[in-house]
Structures are given as structure tokens and as C-alpha cells.
Amino acid sequence: MAVSVAELDRMPESRAAPLLSSCCGSTAWVTRMLQRRPFGTFEALATTSEIVWQELSPADWMEAFSHHPRIGAGDAPGWSAEEQSGVSLATDTVRADLAEINRQYEERFGYIYIVCATGKSAVELLALARARLANPPGVELAIAAMEQQSITRLRLEKLFR
């Protein structure tokens, strides 16, 4: 269901909030985006999204992360299923490896492995996760936040373009 930016600008918060929340699960991000309406254009919406995202705290980022299914878990709803479609062709071995890397990642960093999975195969997602496990926690949080920002941008494009 595509919605125009003009429609988003005019709709009541009770309708706009769930639309924005479908793009990013951070309550603070949604609230601040609602407060900054009207956007007028998609470019203004996307730019505001990036600015607001950078203003958020790590706790807000982690809240957004928590709204994602694990990569390769097979239970991804809606957009997540589409974004993770590269995993559907994975072998059982790669799926098992993804499950294990997800476990290791969560144990090390305290949140799920966040990656913009669109257009990536299961093997690519696995390799990225393995490489990112070596990152210091602060570096990895910044990378995960950038990945979430990319996911949000893609979802905004799907919804408002």
C-alpha cells in the first residue's frame, strides 16, 4: 500500500504512527518524525529520517533492532521476509550456520544481528556476520545503526514513493 508524502503530512497521528513504525521500530524515531511533519517531499522525509535517527540514543537504536526477526530464522513477516528472500535458497547447512552465528552475535553484543539483507544471499549474510563478530562493541553498534538506517530508508521508499 503506497501512500504519498502529502497524505502522510495530512493524516492524523493515529494513522501516521503505524505507517512510520512499519519502517522503523523505535518509538522515539516515530514520535520525532510525527513532530517534524509536514515533509512536503520524499527527499525531505528521507533527510529528516536520517537526521532523527542520528539524534537517537543507543537504547532507541536497540529498540528498533528488537523489531526485526533473526536473519534466516524462517519466521520473518512482511517486509522482513522480502528483504531476507536470499535466505530462502540456502542449504540446510548454511541455515544452521546462520542460526549459530545469530546466537554468537547476540551473546557478544546483546542484540540481534542487524544487516540490510536486501539483495544479499544467505552465504553473503553469513560472511558479513562472521566478519562483524570481530568488531569491538562500540564499532559494531555504529555499524548496526547504519544498517538499520539503510533498512528504514528502503522501507520509506516502498511506502512513500
Distance of CA 60 to the CA centre of its chain: 13
* 11 in Cβ contact with 1 (< 8 Å): no
Residue 47 C-alpha cell reads as 533527510
User: Could you give the residue ranges of the DSSP H alpha helices within the chain?
Assistant: 5-10, 13-21, 27-35, 42-55, 58-65, 78-83, 92-109, 122-132, 137-160
* 102 in Cβ contact with 114 (< 8 Å): no
CB-CB neighbours of 13 under 10 Å: 13
Active site residues: 68
* Cα gap 154→150, rounded to integer Å: 6
